Structure 1
Amino acid sequence: MVTIVDTLTRGTDARNERPRHPEKAHRPDNPVQRKPQWIRVKAPTSPVYRETHDIVKKNGLVTVCEEAGCPNIGECWSKKHASFMILGDTCTRACAFCNVRTGMPGAVDQSEPASIGEAVARMGLDHVVITSVDRDDLDDGGATHFANVIKAIREQSPSTTVEVLTPDFLRKDGALEIVVAARPDVFNHNLETVPSKYLKVRPGARYFHSIRLLQKVKELDPSMFTKSGIMVGLGEERNEVLQLMDDLRVADVDFLTVGQYLQPSKKHHPVLSFVTPEEFKAYEKIAYAKGFLKVSASPLTRSSHHAGEDFAELKAARQARQGF
């Protein structure tokens, strides 16, 4: 099975050693805080990590694990877990937390769905997660490409379950319906932070549009699992996090992830606090009490870390709640 990890933590583009966010250089310089012991991870060294790296490169694929510089890449790639980021490596938005390149993307690679389907089959994956950059330049925000990738995976690896982590498709009428009609097993869209932080952290998005997007997935297909994630440590108040949980439950979201924000570089939004493991445990307990089927909350939790294992637990939780 495969997982995806998507916290954005790398500071420069290793391919050409230039800043990945020249437009963010006007932000005040903020020192990158020293990480506490509980959030440090070992550098990847295993032979399986290298094997996974070679498979990804041989197929010419982009992974958010690398693009986002995720701290869990060593663990995931050592288990042949990887993520696939479609629609290129350049995003049309410039969120203050994100380390993916910002700019005008190139043309959509129409051969990408087949390449991903082939890689999934070759790696023998039980569960795969597909995410993308924002593509506000496309009429459908990339929804048709998502659907084509899902179709290619189903054709080449029919037993693989598919999870998508989509953009918000803001002002893209009909885009959500295209993705839902392709019937991914899990539909994930991250809120990222509480609404009071959107202006500084996620200025191109709209909080209640994202809530409505997740709610509409359930209206279109009540059987589809829905999922959303946030980062903490951005200056949010505890009560704001609890209200966000309530908003997601009103939208009938099944699965919530909560992880620590890590500052990619001094040009990005600063880490305003490191939330302790005990605080994460408290968030997890409260979220379960509010009715989520599955909750993952810890310093190193990322939106789709352990996605395959979590999907199995999600299905079991629904069956238990429904009494069969």
Structure 2
Amino acid sequence: MAVFFMSDGMTHDPKVPLRHPEKAHRPDNPSPPKPAWIRVRAPVGATVGAVGALMREGGLHTVCEEAACPNRGECWTRRHAAFMILGDICTRACAFCNVATGRPGPVDAGEPERLAHSVATLGLSHVVITSVDRDDLPDGGAAHFAACVRAVREGRPACSIEVLTPDFRGKPGALETVLASAPDVFNHNLETVPRLYPSIRPGARYDESLALLAEARRLSPDLFTKSGLMVGLGETEVELAHVMDDLRAAGVDFLTIGQYLQPTLKHAAVARFVPPEEFDRYASLARAKGFALVASSPLTRSSHHADRDFEALRKARQAASLAQ
């Protein structure tokens, strides 16, 4: 799963089944107390409730809820939601991820139509569609991604569409299937530096994720490409700089950088909370390396302000074209 996560700080009721039974055997990994700059208000209000009701009515899942995103209150107040397709059970068990691991159910053929209806009801000008990892499917869920893009395009033609995909484990034709549906933005998060992949993202391979982004750029040169990183897991600034270089070599336009937040004590611990001024330094470094757009702050997430960022990306490309 390619998103960021946080803990709600609650203790587990032993009478309630664990959301992450695959992690139950792990020892507790306490994180440092959250600093003041990481705290946000709980999502409340009539609009927040209405968005949640719309998701329940449509039988849809959102990254906002499944990832316990700290920005849910802000985004849902603006009637924005990031949709998570292909169910709420992931076939991988990444150490940072709040999505449950297990054996997913069958693909819901009616989901694209219901998703498109929700996008139209919310009046979205830009939508982010992501998914759980579906290593159980022959195409990794690529055809379902494409069906969702086409349904949204048909139901709301003026809406720009951003897909945040898994790596598809190199399944032949998967990337081509998604790109054939013509999304406006192709996003795949590297999440962390190569050294930390074995402990943080053991089901994935850094080089494969990087190659996916490069291939998306090669196959669709006019497509906007995007990736995201979590910090606070023990990476160094030198390692982050190397990842930025790799992303630029792959032709990635837009980089997001946000603070990792531990979902439960069984997940990877936060090594440190990165101060806001350090995020500013990362942003300056990334811009100097040639990214068209950079979002870097403690609460930055892949889909946060994605509508505004897409407009900024288009303007940045237009300006670069005029300057040539």
Q: TM-score, normalised by structure 2?
A: 0.96
Which portions of structure 1, spanning 4 or more consecutive aligned residues, are displaced by more than 3 angstroms?
A: 10-14
Give 1:27 shift.
Answer: 2.5
Matched with 1:181 is 180
What is the distance in 2 between the residues matched to 1:193 and 1:70?
18
> Which string of whole-angstrom CA distances, capped at 9 and with x for unpartnered residues, describes residues 59-95 of structure 1?
1111111111111111011110111100000000000
What is the distance in 1 between the residues matched to 2:217 and 2:16?
43
Give 1:32 shift.
Answer: 3.4
Give 1:112 shift.
Answer: 0.3
What is the distance in 1 between the residues matched to 2:283 and 2:208?
25
What is the distance in 1 between the residues matched to 2:238 and 2:31?
26
Kept in 2, the 8 Å contact 1:258–1:296? The answer is yes
Kept in 2, the 8 Å contact 1:8–1:100? The answer is no
Give 1:9 shift.
Answer: 2.4
What is the distance in 1 between the residues matched to 2:298 and 2:134?
29
Superposed, 1:223-262 pairs within 5 Å as 223-262=222-261
Matched with 2:321 is 322
3-state SS, counterpart of residue 167 of structure 2: coil
Matched with 1:9 is 6
> Which string of whole-angstrom CA distances, capped at 9 and with x for unpartnered residues, describes residues 135-170 of structure 1?
000000000000000010011111110000000011
Give 1:6 shift.
Answer: 3.6
3-state SS, counterpart of residue 145 of structure 1: helix
Matched with 2:156 is 157
Matched with 1:31 is 30
Matched with 2:91 is 92
**Could you tell which deviates more after superposition, 25-34 or 271-280?**
25-34
Give 1:24 shift.
Answer: 1.5
> How much identity, in percent, do the aligned residues show?
59
Kept in 2, the 8 Å contact 1:128–1:163? The answer is yes
What is the distance in 1 between the residues matched to 2:32 and 2:88?
27
3-state SS, counterpart of residue 43 of structure 1: coil
3-state SS, counterpart of residue 309 of structure 2: helix
Matched with 1:205 is 204
**Residue 120 of structure 1 aligns to which amino acid in structure 2?**
V
What is the distance in 2 between the residues matched to 1:44 and 1:210?
33
3-state SS, counterpart of residue 161 of structure 2: strand
| Number of aligned residues | 319
Give 1:219 shift.
Answer: 0.7
Give 1:119 shift.
Answer: 1.0
Give 1:10 shift.
Answer: 4.5
What is the distance in 2 between the residues matched to 1:24 and 1:241?
28
Matched with 1:62 is 61
**Residue 7 of structure 1 aligns to which amino acid in structure 2?**
F
**Residue 103 of structure 2 aligns to which amino acid in structure 1?**
M
What is the distance in 2 between the residues matched to 1:19 and 1:44?
24
What is the distance in 1 between the residues matched to 2:79 and 2:32?
31
3-state SS, counterpart of residue 323 of structure 1: helix
Superposed CA RMSD: 1.6
Give 1:44 shift.
Answer: 1.6
Q: TM-score, normalised by structure 1?
A: 0.96
> Which string of whole-angstrom CA distances, capped at 9 and with x for unpartnered residues, describes residues 109-130 of structure 1?
0000000011111111100000
Kept in 1, the 8 Å contact 2:229–2:256? The answer is yes
Which runs of 5 or more residues in structure 2 are unaligned? Answer: none
What is the distance in 1 between the residues matched to 2:235 and 2:24?
24
What is the distance in 2 between the residues matched to 1:239 and 1:276?
17
Matched with 1:283 is 282
What is the distance in 2 between the residues matched to 1:99 and 1:17?
17
What is the distance in 1 between the residues matched to 2:21 and 2:61?
22
Matched with 2:107 is 108
Corresponding position: 1:298 with 2:297: yes
**Residue 5 of structure 2 aligns to which amino acid in structure 1?**
L
Kept in 1, the 8 Å contact 2:95–2:200? The answer is yes
Matched with 2:42 is 43
3-state SS, counterpart of residue 170 of structure 1: helix
Superposed, 1:134-153 pairs within 5 Å as 134-153=133-152
What is the distance in 2 between the residues matched to 1:138 and 1:242?
35
Kept in 2, the 8 Å contact 1:6–1:65? The answer is no
What is the distance in 1 between the residues matched to 2:38 and 2:6?
13
3-state SS, counterpart of residue 109 of structure 1: coil
